Amino acid sequence: MTVEEFIALRKRLGLTQTQLANYLGMSLRAIQDIENGRSALRLVHVLAIERLSLSIGSALGNLSMIHPTALAEARSAAALRPLSQPG
């Protein structure tokens, strides 16, 4: 994910930088630094916003809000069948 894609996803989720920072447990300054290129966009940030998109999109019933990677992983996980039933 590029910084531009990160920003676009935040906006698609309808979040301000402050709201995203709160959801991800980060400071506003950290989000601003990532979006302005002063800090690196790391894998942990990408995974966090992807999972947040899954949470928000699912809660609102809007699959278009969910990042494609998170949606594919959720669909794959939902298709899994337990090998044995507890009991």
- Per-residue b or e along 2-32, where b marks 16 or more CB atoms closer than 10 Å to that residue's CB: eeeebbebbebbebebeebbebbebeeebbe
In the chain, the domains with their CATH numbers are 3-72 (1.10.260.40)
Q: What is the mean pLDDT of the chain?
A: 93
User: Assign residue 25 a region: left if phi > 0, alpha if psi is -120 to 50, beta otherwise?
Assistant: left
CA distance 76 to 79: 5
Single pTM value for the model: 0.82
Residue 78 has pLDDT above 90, yes or no: no
Tens digits of per-residue pLDDT, 28-68?
Answer: 999 999 999 999 999 999 999 999 999 999 999 999 999 99
